[in-house]
Structure 1
């Protein structure tokens, strides 16, 4: 499972890198055409919408994969024992899973709505489902990553005997 999960992380990172490069190239082309050559290309802003939304959602999923997402660690300052800290992490992750599942459910409803309506972009007539599906996919990946994090915290909790203290930072 670990090798497969690591491969998933590498693929996700590669897709994000490609999307960043693609967005950068499109913006460079837009600047050169509009401000240097004075020949604006119609629709490039609309085209930028699709990789940008995917980049945003996959970036959030990748942050949850690498566990570099934003957390509020104020309560962790009060915890002295490693086992208590691991239990706190389990509770925090369970809350994250519940919230992520709730948001993913809404994203699923939006995804099915997008499939039913099959809206198109106004200028290039690109199906908006290509961008709107990123919300569901990104949140589903965040749920997956948070569930993996939960099992990691449970394993960590089981490894402590309850007497080990967290080292003080000096």
Structure 2
């Protein structure tokens, strides 16, 4: 049995959806709001959905998996090569379909909520460390403009950033 995938472009407020036939040609395009999107999968028999690995893709992949739908998340960097003309949601859906047909593009695994939360904590800490270092270096440079030489530990102490 051949699986005919549905291809989704996950946008902030509107979702672009394309239905394909057995030869993986697009037969229909739909633009759905979030509510319409959630209702669409309630009474449909969909077995495969292809999405781009973007910001909300983990959430929607988990949501679709909980309904028994297989989800293939494709890396965004690989899809860009398949965009044939100006970037629109409908063109992105067609590019996703072309990229999905390419056998050498491996789908991205769906992260659990715990994995995603831990990754978010690590990214947040890394950003905080970067801004802390930037602030310390800026203050040290400002002090040097007035002939004051201050060690990094002194600046951290003054800024209460242990």
TM-score normalised to the size of structure 1?
0.23
Higher CA-based Rg: 2
Structure holding more strand per residue: 2
Higher RCO structure, 1 or 2 (CA under 8 Å, sep 6+):
1
Structure holding more helix per residue: 1
TM-score normalised to the size of structure 2?
0.24
